[in-house]
Amino acid sequence: MSKPRLPGDLTPAQVIERMLRVDHAGEYGAKRIYDGQLAVLKTAPAAPTIRHMAEQELKHLAAFNKLLPQRRVRPTILGPLWHAAGFALGAATALLGEKAAMACTEAVEEVIDAHYTKQLETLEAMAAEGKAEPELAQMIEQFRAEEIEHRDTAREAGAAEAPAYPALSQGVKAATRAAIWLSERI
Ligand SMILES: [Fe+2]
Ligand SMILES: [Fe+2]
């Protein structure tokens, strides 16, 4: 009987390593996006909403900050890039207005929801092979639920009314997917 294959035929340890590396990078990027948004919109009506989401991202980031050294996983070398690019993305969209900032959040969180869902499927496949990671799975499930909340909050705040919404949304999604791809690998 052939064994179920892990993504790219990585070992279970390599799969977990990639997962932690990319999730840590992503939560750091999320923090920086909200930093950028708040730098521009600190007194705007949307500021408390953005601040609430930013606080949840800080908790997500803190969890991965703790897990990486525990599991001896090296963070991505792209940290400085996400530091700058995340902030720039947040600030640039916020400069287009609150709705554009929300369109950015909606687009990022849509991609992150899909990303965490895929990871949960991988963890399930690993559990079926006797390599269960119940604590990690539970954590990712909780974070995923909060990212979905962020996406919905952004939608309710009028993301779709942003200027050039389709192009903005597609662009942010493509950038987020590229950032994920890179952070898994380097
Ligand atoms: Fe997050
Ligand atoms: Fe989020």
pTM of the model: 0.91
The environment of the single-atom ion ligand 1, i.e. residues with CB closer than 5 A, is 27, 30, 57, 60
pLDDT 10s digits, 118-153: 999 999 999 998 999 999 999 999 999 999 999 999
Q: How far is the CA of 11 from the centre of ligand 1 (A)?
A: 26
pLDDT 10s digits, 154-166: 999 999 999 999 9
Question: What are all long-range contacts of 176-180, with beta carbons under 8 Å and residues at least 24 apart?
Answer: 176/107, 176/108, 176/111, 176/112, 177/111, 179/25, 179/26, 179/29, 179/82, 179/85, 180/22, 180/26, 180/111, 180/115
Ligand number, closest to the Cα atom of 59: 1
Q: How far is the CA of 58 from the centre of ligand 1 (A)?
A: 8
Instruction: State the residue for tokens 């899909």.
Output: 114
